[in-house]
Chain A
Amino acid sequence: MLRNLLIGLVLAGFVFIFYNLYITYEPKTELTGIAAHYAEKGAVEVGAANLVTAVVVTYRGFDTLGEITILFLTASIIAFFLKLSKVDEEKIIVHRGTSELLITASKILIPIIFLFGAYVFMNGHLTPGGGFQGGAIIASGVVLSILANPNRQINHNVIIWVESISGVSFVLIGVLGIFLAGGFLDNRILGLGEFGTLFSAGAIPIIYSFVGLKVGAEISNILNKYQKSQKES
């Protein structure tokens, strides 16, 4: 009873704070401060048509590095936690058999999903999209292949090498930006090209492709570990 009262008290406190914030809120009518600078000069300085990509990769590139680090840490902790013993590793999952529809459809859909994911992260600077979305789509394709055949062994070496090389290349391109251009992760190390084509905006397609591959590999690794943990006794 006391517990419910305390929970009610905490929630009432939050309701009071939110009510005060909501009453005195006035929506903005103009872009001010640094957002005005990004909107005005973004197309000229960075050369990307997608302003959110310009902010994530170039203007706030260091935050993207931090986010990749957190994702890497999460994936490695989950891999450590869900480690199977030797006896469990060799068991085969006994199941009722996946349906014919799923097996046949997955053979057609998986290459298309991978192609679409690669398209999304390569064109991140022109249309809505980018590395994180493309990586999630690639991970969905990997999950579809696992669901169609639960005993399939995903080649662990491929995932490890893709993830490591992408991470190291991301940092190397960033450091290259210090020597050849303005600062860390500056995208002017390659030419800015013509606005609106695929090979424009300097190094942004390359950086975002590495981010997309890394995120896709990590999420596939997490999902593979969850699938394997079903074998645990």
Chain B
Amino acid sequence: MNNETVFIAIAIGIGVLSLILAFIAVQNKSLSVSVIAAGVVSLFASVLFLLMAAPDVAMTEAAIGSGLSTLIFFYVLNKIKRYNA
């Protein structure tokens, strides 16, 4: 098993998982689950960027898309939950 088939197998696995999680993010009734699912989609996209030989883009997506964006969503959810929407 040389390097290339391992990369393709990982990419297929990550792709299937991220599509399932994106579907869960849109369909689920609970808002917290949706936000975390969107964050994990972003994390898997970062690994996919690394497999495609783009380390700068992977670093940026992991820091901004998966970390700070999820944090801002949780600030808004905290504000809403207090007033029982």
Interface residues of A (CB under 8 A from B): 50, 52-53, 128-130, 132-133, 136-137, 139-140, 143, 219, 222-223, 226-227, 229-230, 232
Contact = CB atoms under 8 A, between A and B. Distances in A.
18 contacts: A50-B56, A129-B56, A132-B64, A133-B56, A133-B60, A136-B64, A137-B63, A140-B67, A143-B68, A143-B71, A222-B72, A223-B72, A226-B72, A226-B75, A227-B75, A229-B75, A229-B79, A230-B78
Given A136-B67, A140-B67, A222-B72, 16 more contacts: A50-B56, A52-B56, A128-B56, A129-B56, A132-B64, A136-B68, A137-B63, A143-B68, A143-B71, A223-B68, A226-B76, A227-B75, A229-B75, A230-B75, A230-B79, A232-B79
Nearest to A232: B79
B72 A136 contact: no
Interface of B: 55-56, 59-60, 63-64, 67-68, 71-72, 75-76, 78-79
A223 B71 CA distance: 9
Contact of A132 (B55, B60, B71, B79): B60
A137 B56 CA distance: 14
A221 to B, nearest CB: 13
Given A223-B68, A230-B75, A136 B63 contact: yes
A232 B83 CA distance: 12
Contacts of A128: 55-56, 59
A50 B56 CA distance: 10
A140 B63 contact: yes
A130 B59 CA distance: 10
A194 B51 CA distance: 31
Contacts of A129: 56, 59
A52 B60 CA distance: 13
A150 B13 CA distance: 40
Contacts of A133: 56, 59-60, 63
